[in-house]
Amino acid sequence: MSSLKLYLALTASLAVEADFVFLPEWPAELDWTQTMCKKLRQARHRPRPAIHERELGQRLNIIIVAEGAIDRDGNSVTADKVKQVVVDNLGFDTRVTVLGHVQRGGSPSAFDRILGCRMGAEAVLALIEATPDTEASVISLDGNQAVRVPLMACVKKTQAVAKAMEDKNWQLAVELRGRSFARNLETYKMLTRLKPPKEIKGKGGHTLAVMHVGAPCCGMNAAVRSFVRNGIYRGDTVLGIQDGIEGLVENQVKEMGWGDVTGWVPQGGAFLGTKRTLPQKYMSQVAARFKEHKIQALLVIGGFEAYLTLLQLCDARQQHPELCVPMACIPATISNNVPGTGFSLGCDTAVNEITEICDRIRQSAQGTKQRVFIIETMGGYCGYLATMAALAGGADNAYIFEEPFSIADIREDIYHLIQKMDEGGIKRGLVLRNEYANPNYTTEFLHQVFTEEGKNTFSCRMNVLGHMQQGGSPSPFDRNMATKMAAKCTDWLVRQMTENTREDGSVFTNQPETVCMLGLRSRRYEFTPVHSLKPETDWEHRIQKQQWWMKLRPLMRILAKHTATYEEENVEVELDGKAH
């Protein structure tokens, strides 16, 4: 679906590694039939010896056709027409699936539920603050911040897109869709090539390395794939380090090829392997491996341990000049506890998993007597998972470390649930608890208290979700975020290497600004030097001191019919992204 809109088709193509995509805003070239068939033929052909089992010799290809897709002459491109071209020219067994309204069905994702809550609250505040002279606005999400965009400006821009397409000014049509759309389109075209270009784009010639440090999470593989192919596309060599620091010390380093990362996007876990080992005890060996493999830039993908790894490598530069190269970190942990970012790879998938499990647990009590469920989530001392899953799942409360609570608070929640069930006709209650919320008020303790105090009104059950939260396939949000962040890291590292290249061709920089964390902060992605993040870090509990999602907790309580005050950031922006 999505007539005259490239969003669904383009983002889906990035998320599933589609072989070909047809978009209305970027029509296919007139010779698209030959181009597509050539690509599919190369993908299916397996030479001897095969370069890679998944790169050449594929048994499955996916082609996505957006509703309203056309070629450069304005001729319609339909799924049936594409099928006929494939069958007639290649003889491949081809099936057409028209998704239609299936795309509109199903349960909303956790992200959509939370987005709806935030936008609804912001809309109420906008209406309350409005005056007769206030310009009509559209409530939107820019980066990670709710914003208000002038309504008529949005309408004019939409009309401008249609006018650009009518004039066959395709480049303008893509640009009017926004910078992120244009960048996603270029990223898709680059990442889905079967092989790197024969003529290398740019100078290239650098050696970059990538590794994981910390626990595995969804999105790691997509980030590695994007980084590897972005690097190779520029003419650089990309090394994959197996099993983190331990693998580097043991020389488990190999050059990554274009086809080595085919099919990685939809896979969970970490194919490169990951461990929590930090480099401090092995700094001499690490430096020796940097020198041996002539590593000129490093990307670390992981959680709090990855953050610590970059800090230790940066501090060791004075003793080990081999480490004086640009380094970047992509935060990847379900806990979302890494300083310098509002979102980490994997946390969206984990919130989806928790929300889905909570839905099933609630459904299990359908038709039974009144019942309350106590659910324990992961996250260490960070209450992100519990809070966001509570907001998405319509929970009555979420107990977290960042918001201290007492036995009086617990009793108040019990009486509140009793009142809702006695007077409001509510049959089921849901309470979440972060695993390290309180050493004394454990999940078992809460279960016993709720059971005893509410025994005349409801029964109580307890569930500890455990590592189910880390499993599953990455959500589309995590897949695309990983792809985008890795591409940004490649750009940044290449720029830093270029700016710090000596006359002999070696790369040397000992500036703290060349060791950074990439994160989504408010409305944009930012590279923040890891040393500047130290004051923002609660080292004892391994969390950020200030966490943006804490402002959503009053909203969670309001929606659960508690008394609370919610204040959203009132930011009005123009279509060019400038706040005023």
pLDDT, position 1: 46
Name every residue whose Cβ is closer than 8 Å to that of residue 192 and which is 6 or more positions away in sequence. 13, 17, 18, 19, 20
Beta strand 207-213 with 237-241 is parallel
Question: Do residues 176 and 160 touch, judged by C-beta distance below 8 A?
Answer: yes
* Tens-place pLDDT, residues 363-389: 887 767 789 999 999 999 999 999 999
* Residue 403 pLDDT class (50, 70, 90 cuts): very high
Name every residue whose Cβ is closer than 8 Å to that of residue 508 and which is 6 or more positions away in sequence. 321, 324, 325, 500, 502
Q: How far apart (Å, rounded) are the C-alpha atoms in residues 89 and 39?
A: 12
Hey, what are 420's tokens? 């809702």
Q: What are the φ and ψ backbone dihedral angles of 464, each rounded to 5 degrees?
A: -105, 115
pLDDT, position 480: 93
| pLDDT (mean) for 213-223 | 95
The answer on pLDDT for 46 being more than 70 is no
pLDDT, position 200: 55
* Tens-place pLDDT, residues 186-208: 888 888 876 777 655 545 689 99
Which listed CATH number (3.30.470.20, 3.30.10.20, 3.40.50.460, 3.40.640.10) goes with 7-103?
A: 3.40.50.460
pLDDT, position 400: 97
* Tens-place pLDDT, residues 500-558: 999 888 999 999 999 999 999 887 899 999 999 999 999 999 999 999 999 999 999 99
Hey, what are 13's tokens? 């193509």
Terminal CA-CA length for the chain: 35
DSSP state, residue 548: G
Question: Do residues 165 and 138 touch, judged by C-beta distance below 8 A?
Answer: no
pLDDT, position 342: 93
DSSP state, residue 325: S
**207-344+478-540: same fold as 7-103?**
yes
Number of Cα atoms under 13 Å in the Cβ half of residue 415: 6
Least confidently predicted of 434-438, 471-475, 571-575 = 571-575
The answer on pLDDT for 251 being more than 90 is yes
Can you say whether residue 468 is alpha, beta or left, with left for phi > 0 and alpha for psi between -120 and 50 degrees?
Answer: alpha
What percentage of the chain carries pLDDT values higher than 70?
92
- Would you give the distance in Å from CA 198 to the centre of its chain? 32
Tokens 């409001």, located at residue: 424
Closest C-alpha to 26, from 52, 58, 64, 60: 64
Q: How far apart (Å, rounded) are the C-alpha atoms in residues 553 and 23?
A: 40
* Residue 426 pLDDT class (50, 70, 90 cuts): confident
Question: Do residues 136 and 152 touch, judged by C-beta distance below 8 A?
Answer: yes
* Tens-place pLDDT, residues 232-248: 999 999 999 999 999 99
Q: How far apart (Å, rounded) are the C-alpha atoms in residues 351 and 233?
A: 34
Q: How far apart (Å, rounded) are the C-alpha atoms in residues 291 and 279?
A: 16
Closest C-alpha to 477, from 301, 351, 330: 351
Closest C-alpha to 39, from 72, 8, 82: 82
pLDDT, position 469: 86
DSSP 463-508: EE-GGGGG-SPPPHHHHHHHHHHHHHHHHHHHHHHHHTB-TTS-B-
Which residues in 396-482 belong to E strands, given as ranges?
397-399, 428-434, 459-464
What CATH class does 347-470 carry?
alpha beta
Can you say whether residue 311 is alpha, beta or left, with left for phi > 0 and alpha for psi between -120 and 50 degrees?
Answer: alpha
pLDDT, position 579: 55
Q: What are the φ and ψ backbone dihedral angles of 36, each rounded to 5 degrees?
A: -65, -45
| pLDDT (mean) for 486-504 | 94
What are the extents of the domains in the chain? 7-103, 207-344+478-540, 347-470
Can you say whether residue 561 is alpha, beta or left, with left for phi > 0 and alpha for psi between -120 and 50 degrees?
Answer: left
Which letter, b or e, does each residue of 234-249 get, where b requires 16 or more Cβ atoms within 10 Å of its Cβ? bbbbbbbbbbbbbbbb
Q: How many helices and strands (H and E) does the chain possess? A: 17, 19
What percentage of the chain carries pLDDT values higher than 90?
65
Question: Do residues 58 and 44 touch, judged by C-beta distance below 8 A?
Answer: yes
3-state SS, one letter per residue, for 214-227: CCCCCCHHHHHHHH
What CATH code would you report for 207-344+478-540? 3.40.50.450
The answer on pLDDT for 158 being more than 50 is yes
